[in-house]
Amino acid sequence: MLRLSKKTLYAIEAVLDIAYHAGSEPVQSREITRRQGIPRRYLEQALQGLVRKNILIGVRGPRGGYRLARERRRISVGDIVRVVREMESGTDPFDSPTHSELGEKVVSPLWRELHDQVMERLDSVTIDDLGDRADQAGILSQGRSNLDFSI
């Protein structure tokens, strides 16, 4: 079931940061930490999980970092939430029987319905959409300002 944890928020912010601030070089985790204030221990775990699930690509080396594995418009917030939820994989009280008729036939179905609606909405929001929101909010992209197209 959907739980909005700090890790989930951090993972969404990290992917958005990579998409929004990426230039010609991969985005380094220390830059994400600096810009977003995400604790390094959470960030590295989240980034590695996102690499394993092909949302990000890890680039090794001194100028290494992270890039998106797909186009911004092909990564949904729901994709990221599912990866983090799988990483956390704690026991969800609605996954086990409630031992009560009201819980089993009324409360649990309501929770599942709400969960499905939230996930449907998160699946409809892409990293590209969030990037547009960042533009509208007046947030400057460091990656775009570092691009040099001179020949």
| Residue 104 belongs to a domain | yes
Per-residue confidence in pLDDT tens, the chain, 151 aa:
555 788 999 999 999 999 999 888 899 999 999 999 999 888 999 999 999 999 999 999 988 999 999 999 999 999 999 999 898 876 555 566 667 899 889 988 998 899 899 999 999 999 999 999 999 999 988 876 544 444 4
Cα distance between residue 40 and residue 43, in whole Å = 5
* CATH code for the domain in which residue 85 is found: 1.10.10.10
What is the residue type of 114? Answer: L
Domain presence at residue 1? no
Specify the number of domains making up the chain: 1
Of the chain, the end-to-end C-alpha distance in Å amounts to 52
Instruction: List the one residue out of 124, 123, 120, 93 whose CA is nearest residue 108.
Output: 93
3-state secondary structure of 20: helix
Domain residues for 20? 6-146
